[in-house]
Amino acid sequence: MHQRIVILISGRGSNMQAIVQRCAAEGWPATVAAVIANRPDAAGLAFAREHGISAVALDHRAHASREAFDSALSAQIDRFDPHLVVLAGFMRILGADFVGHYAGRLLNIHPSLLPAFPGLHTHQRAIEAGCKAAGATVHFVTPELDHGPIVMQSVVPVLPGDDEDALADRILATEHVIYPLAVRWFVQGKLRLAGGIVYQLDGAAQLLIG
């Protein structure tokens, strides 16, 4: 069945762009129906418009409370009746009601090897902790921030002399591989969630060593 995807962004949207491009290039049984940003100046909105995708700006600052923003956001998302909602650099915490509404069809990418380093400044924290490896995690979203069943991870070395930007760039290059792959598996019905573990039904590797 053809799947409709809605992608939420806050800024640059490079992960969103990678998903849009792979979806078109590989002929997924899916359409990116809309890109929604919580910041009107999010650069990714222009990319969406240029590619004929509905681009919606919903400024969280115009809403009196987190709950009010969450419900306005759901209303916008549900106009597109999505099978899958993809958080791609969406830098707002979403409430339990919102998360519950999209249970099992809400994915996120986080630039750390979860469950290590949920929250912000992940690259700097990995460097300061002396980690020898870092990476990114695609996971189903649960109400707890940056937790939830892991679909795929990438791992890269932390090199001597790395600063936050160098490590972020190395990880981001792998994000652009693993996020499209995870979304493709979802729309192809290749993911099964059992007991909090995500299985890829073809037995494909759910780890990228970058």
Between 85 and 172, name the residue whose CB sits nearer to ligand GAR: 172
Least distance in Å: CB of 18 to ligand GAR? 8
* Alpha carbons 102 and 86: distance in angstroms, whole number: 10
Report the catalytic residues.
110
CB of residue 92 to ligand GAR, shortest distance in Å: 10
Give min distance, CB of 201 to ligand GAR, in A: 25
Residues that bind ligand GAR in the complex, under the rule CB under 6 A: 9, 11-15, 88-89, 109-111, 136, 172, 175
Nearer to ligand GAR, 12 or 199 (CB): 12
Identify which of residues 80 and 90 has a Cβ nearer to ligand GAR in the complex.
90
Query: Where would I find the H helices in the chain?
Result: 14-26, 44-50, 66-78, 96-101, 122-128, 164-187
Q: Which is nearer to ligand GAR, 66 or 199 (CB)?
A: 66
For 143-185, give the DSSP string: SSTT-S-EEEEEEEEPPTT--HHHHHHHHHHHHHHHHHHHHHH
Residue closest to ligand GAR, measured at CB: 89
Radius of gyration, CA atoms only, the chain:
16
Interatomic CA distance for residues 98 and 76, integer angstroms: 12
C-beta of residue 34 within 8 angstroms of C-beta of residue 67:
no
* Cα 57 from Cα 198, distance rounded (Å): 32
